[in-house]
Chain A
Amino acid sequence: EAQVTQNPRYLITVTGKKLTVTCSQNMNHEYMSWYRQDPGLGLRQIYYSMNVEVTDKGDVPEGYKVSRKEKRNFPLILESPSPNQTSLYFCASSSAHPPYEQYFGPGTRLTVT
């Protein structure tokens, strides 16, 4: 089954404690992205990757890091989480060819206290 998986699904942590949210896709997609979703703001792109070892900033990259060492994995790293990073996070992948449909992971609800 084609899917994007994320872990953990829910996380409550404290300010400053480093965390990683994993993302994996089994569709051999070139493109992968991380989004955060906040009420009234919609989905905002944090980082994206066009292929292995190729990553770039999206609209809201501050406080986040990513890596793409393998095609299937695209982890999101919060080196020093702060309360303003409390949000719902989605990983997504898509093919580099039309129609470029994005497949989303189930989401990770993060609370930073």
Chain B
Amino acid sequence: GQNIDQPTEMTATEGAIVQINCTYQTSGFNGLFWYQQHAGEAPTFLSYNVLDGLEEKGRFSSFLSRSKGYSYLLLKELQMKDSASYLCAVRSISGGYNKLIFGAGTRLAVHP
């Protein structure tokens, strides 16, 4: 079957670094996404990894290990506005279609 696991909640301090992990089991893997979602709003794209390694984009970085079925999102210099849910999503090829499967999300609370 297809499964994505990520912690339900995390807390961190403003200015610190936090790592949000995601493990997955899926067939036909074709990339992994991280999205940010503030309460009541639409998810917004953060990163995309299809090859192993680290992708850095400003304060946010994302890592992928395909052999381990593992990814993490690293947030540096945390700001209060980073309080949001972070969704890990795996793209898998199914019946010729690139299907996107979402984890339940990790709710991050940043406190002063």
Residue positions of A touching B, CB distance < 8 A: 31, 33, 35, 40-45, 48, 50, 56, 58, 90, 98-107
Extra contacts, 9 of them, besides A40-B104, A41-B104, A45-B101 (Cβ < 8 A), are A42-B104, A43-B87, A56-B95, A99-B50, A101-B48, A102-B45, A102-B100, A104-B42, A107-B40
Q: Which residues of B contact A99 (CB under 8 A)?
A: 31, 48, 50
What residue of chain A has the Cβ atom nearest to residue B40's Cβ? Answer: A107
Q: Which 3 A-B pairs have the closest CB atoms?
A: A104-B42, A42-B104, A43-B102
- Is B99 on the interface with A (CB-CB < 8 A)? yes
- A48 in contact with B97 (CB, 8 Å): yes
> Which residues of A lie under 8 Å from residue B43 when comparing CB positions?
43, 90, 102, 104
Nearest Cβ distance between residue B30 and chain A, in whole angstroms? 8
Measured between beta carbons, the chain A residues less than 8 angstroms from B45 are 101-103
User: 8 Å CB contacts to A: which residues of B85-107?
Assistant: 87, 89, 91, 95, 97-105
Closest Cβ of chain B to A102, distance in Å, is: 6
Q: Which residues of A contact B25 (CB under 8 A)?
A: none
Residues of the B chain whose Cβ atoms lie less than 8 Å from the Cβ of A98? 31, 50
Given contacts A43-B87, A100-B91, whether A106 and B41 have CB atoms under 8 Å apart is yes
Most A CB contacts (10 A, CB to CB) among B41, B44, B48, B100 go to: B100
Report whether A56 and B97 are in contact in the complex, using a CB–CB cutoff of 8 Å.
yes
B41, A45: Cβ atoms under 8 Å?
Answer: no
Query: Given A99-B48, A100-B91, does the pair A45, B99 have CB atoms closer than 8 Å?
Result: yes
B41 cross-chain contacts in A, Cβ below 8 A: 106-107
Q: Is the CB of A107 within 8 A of B87?
A: no
Closest to B105 in A: A42
The chain A residue sitting closest to B100, CB to CB, is A102
Nearest CB on A from B90, distance (A): 12
